[in-house]
Amino acid sequence: MNDAIAAISTPFGEGAIAIVRLSGARAGAIADAVFRGRRALGEAEAGRRLFGRLVDGGETVDEVVVSIHRAPASYTGEDVVEINCHGGILVTRRILRLLVERGARLANPGEFTERAFLNGKMDLTQAEAVMDLITARTDLALRAAAEQLEGKLGEKIGRLREMLLGLLAHVEAYIDFPDEDIEPETGAALLDKLNEARAANDALLNTAGQGRILREGVRTVIYGAPNVGKSSLLNLLLGYERAIVSESPGTTRDTIEEVINFRGVPLRLVDTAGMRDSEDAVERAGIERTLKSVSGADLVLHLVDGSRPRCQTPPPGGEILVLNKSDLGEDPEWQGAEAVRISCRTGDGMERLGDEILRRLLGGKWNAGDSVVAINVRHQACLKAAAEACARARQGLLERLPPELIAIELRAALDAVGEVVGKADAEELLGKIFSTFCIGK
């Protein structure tokens, strides 16, 4: 498992500087085979940055800054070489190819983190957080990932777990110590505590949506009839000419995705082919894709030409209605319509559109000062199972089922939560019982 792996570890196609990483016992040797500097990497102090050139045969590929971190004091726990090169797809690709030619292997997705995990450099939730960090697209997402890394999520889940453990301790004490004069909570008091735990669980579960948005971006679809300015709006949001803008309707034949950092929120923008009846097979396929992306969207910007009368495009629902071309005046049919009015040509109204997007997405809940805890899909599945078990426990209490059945549900909830941060074992439960109740005849 110690073969050297290599990967470009900065986001694809972005930035002036890119980093190519190499990990494995032979990382130093492979890098030295292509690095020309004042000193060889093999002789360099760990962490020292060396300036030099990467060469392919006689030809210089790039000027680079290289550093080596030696096992086990590195991210992966193996020898790791970091090559800081000039950004750009061609250069980074060529460096990668060069390293592969010298004996490295292209890393699988997440393989650096997997090695770090396997070499005992991090635990499972930390490893997950790192994966999130790597794919984090904005500051908010980055902060959520960083806080999970610091154990903020663990802390919150730990508190939930403690609540469930307390509940179970009462039920178990009631079962196991019938002859003791202890007063474990039953009935209404237990139900109150259960509801507290459910609320805490739900609160965490509710961050799942935020978590996905932070990690993957808000799937945002710009939807509308041909030639109302969808691509222009997309370009405005992106800040540069990305989609092909054309005067002739039906030029955008495909859906185009771009992720932008929109005031801290990652928007995954999808431009779509215009909605209209078409005989053109390619265009029809584009329209089908459009409908599909609309149904899977978190946010739909329904764009219309406000200077012209309402047309037949069916509204997809739940969208923000955007009247474009305000610079051309508004058709009387749109009078009083609840819509954001913009002009893609002049840029007028873009601020208002931005406010509306944030209001819709976050419902005012997104306080940048709050600690950001956002769970991932695995956490979500666990907490969902816990929520279901808690709901069954509640039902059981209401139906006055015997305590051993309530205990089964509470234990299921505790186990599910434990999947995130580690299971509670019998000893922990007994510890809770003995510290809560004076047991012992």
Partner 1 sequence: MFTYPKTYDVIVVGAGHAGIEAAMAASRLGCETLMLTQNADTIGQMSCNPAVGGLAKGHIVREIDALGGFMGLNTDATAIQCRMLNSNKGASVRAPRSQCDKKAYQFRAKAACERQPHLDLKQGNALRIGEEQGRAAFVETDFGLRFRGAAIVITTGTFLRGLLHVGLQSRPGGRMGDAQSTLSGSLAELGFEIGRFKTGTPCRLNGRTIDFTRCEIQNGDEPPPGFSFMPESLESTPDDIFTLNTYRDGMFHVEQIPCWITHTNARTHAVIRANLDKSPLFSGRIEGVGPRYCPSIEDKVVKFAEKESHQLFLEPEGRHTGEFYVNGVSTSLPFEVQYAFIRSVQGLENAEIMRAGYAVEYDYCPPTQLYATLETKRVENLFFAGQINGTSGYEEAAAQGLVAGANAALKLLGRPSLILSRSEAYIGVLIDDLVTKGTAEPYRMFTSRAEYRLLLRQDNADLRLTPLGHGLGLVDPARAEKVASRQAALAELEIWAAGVRVEGVPLTQWLKRAETSFRGLDQGVRNRFADSVWDIFETDLKYAGYIRRQHDAVEKARLSEGKLLPASLDYSAISGLRFEARQKLSEIRPATFGQAGRISGITPADLALLGVWMGRNRNA
Report in angstroms how near the CB of residue 123 gets to partner 1 at its nearest. 5
Which one of the spans 30-38, 199-207, 286-294, 417-425 is the region binding partner 1 (CB under 8 A)? 417-425
- Does 58 contact partner 1 by CB under 8 A? no
Give the binding-site size for partner 1 (rule: CB under 8 A).
42
Report in angstroms how near the CB of residue 392 gets to partner 1 at its nearest. 10
Report in angstroms how near the CB of residue 215 gets to partner 1 at its nearest. 21
Beta bridge partners of 341: 323
Specify the residue, 192 or 404, whose C-beta has the smaller distance to partner 1.
Answer: 404
- The distance of Cα 275 from the centroid of its chain, to the nearest Å, equals 31
CA dihedral 5, 10, 13, 16 (to 10 degrees): -120
Which amino acid, 37?
Answer: G
Please identify which residue in 38, 57, 58, 179 interacts with partner 1, judged by CB under 8 A: 179
Which amino acid, 270?
Answer: V
Please identify which residue in 176, 202, 257, 351 interacts with partner 1, judged by CB under 8 A: 176
Q: Is 270 helix (H, G, I), strand (E, B) or coil?
A: strand
Report in angstroms how near the CB of residue 53 gets to partner 1 at its nearest. 35
Concatenating the DSSP letter of every residue in 315-363 gives P-SSPEEEEE-GGG---GGGTT---EE--TTT-TTHHHHHHHHHHHHHT
Please identify which residue in 120, 187, 332, 336 interacts with partner 1, judged by CB under 8 A: 120
State the binding string over 418-437 for partner 1 (x if CB under 8 A, else -): -x--xx-xxx-xxx-xx---
CA–CA gap between residue 219 and residue 217 (Å, rounded)? 6
Q: Is 421 helix (H, G, I), strand (E, B) or coil?
A: helix
Asked if 346 and 288 count as a contact pair (C-beta separation under 8 A), the reply is no
Please identify which residue in 57, 58, 178, 363 interacts with partner 1, judged by CB under 8 A: 178
Specify the residue, 176 or 257, whose C-beta has the smaller distance to partner 1.
Answer: 176
Specify the residue, 159 or 400, whose C-beta has the smaller distance to partner 1.
Answer: 400
Q: Looking only at residues 372 through 411 of this chain, which bind partner 1 when binding is defined by CB under 8 A? A: 399-405, 407-408, 411
Q: Looking only at residues 199 through 258 of this chain, which bind partner 1 when binding is defined by CB under 8 A? A: none
Specify the residue, 141 or 406, whose C-beta has the smaller distance to partner 1.
Answer: 406
Report in angstroms how near the CB of residue 420 gets to partner 1 at its nearest. 9
Q: Looking only at residues 307 through 346 of this chain, which bind partner 1 when binding is defined by CB under 8 A? A: none
CA dihedral 47, 52, 55, 61 (to 10 degrees): 100
Q: Looking only at residues 123 through 142 of this chain, which bind partner 1 when binding is defined by CB under 8 A? A: 123-124
Of residues 102, 80, 74, the one with CA closest to residue 20: 80
Q: Which residues, at least 6 apart from 118, have a Cβ–Cβ distance to it below 8 Å?
A: 1, 77
Which amino acid, 82?
Answer: E
- Does 350 contact partner 1 by CB under 8 A? no
- Does 264 contact partner 1 by CB under 8 A? no
Of residues 183, 160, 155, 220, the one with CA closest to residue 416: 160
CA–CA gap between residue 71 and residue 336 (Å, rounded)? 68
Please identify which residue in 24, 28, 77, 349 interacts with partner 1, judged by CB under 8 A: 77
Report in angstroms how near the CB of residue 25 gets to partner 1 at its nearest. 12
Report in angstroms how near the CB of residue 28 gets to partner 1 at its nearest. 19
Alpha-carbon distances of 235 from 231, 239, 242, rounded to whole Å: 6, 6, 6
Please identify which residue in 38, 58, 59, 181 interacts with partner 1, judged by CB under 8 A: 181
Q: Is 172 helix (H, G, I), strand (E, B) or coil?
A: helix
Specify the residue, 363 or 440, whose C-beta has the smaller distance to partner 1.
Answer: 440
- Does 111 contact partner 1 by CB under 8 A? no
For residue 374, how many C-alpha atoms fall within 13 Å in the half-sphere facing its CB? 23
User: Which parts of this chain interact with partner 1 (CB under 8 A)?
Assistant: 1, 77, 114, 117-120, 123-124, 172, 175-181, 399-405, 407-408, 411, 419, 422-423, 425-427, 429-431, 433-434, 438-441
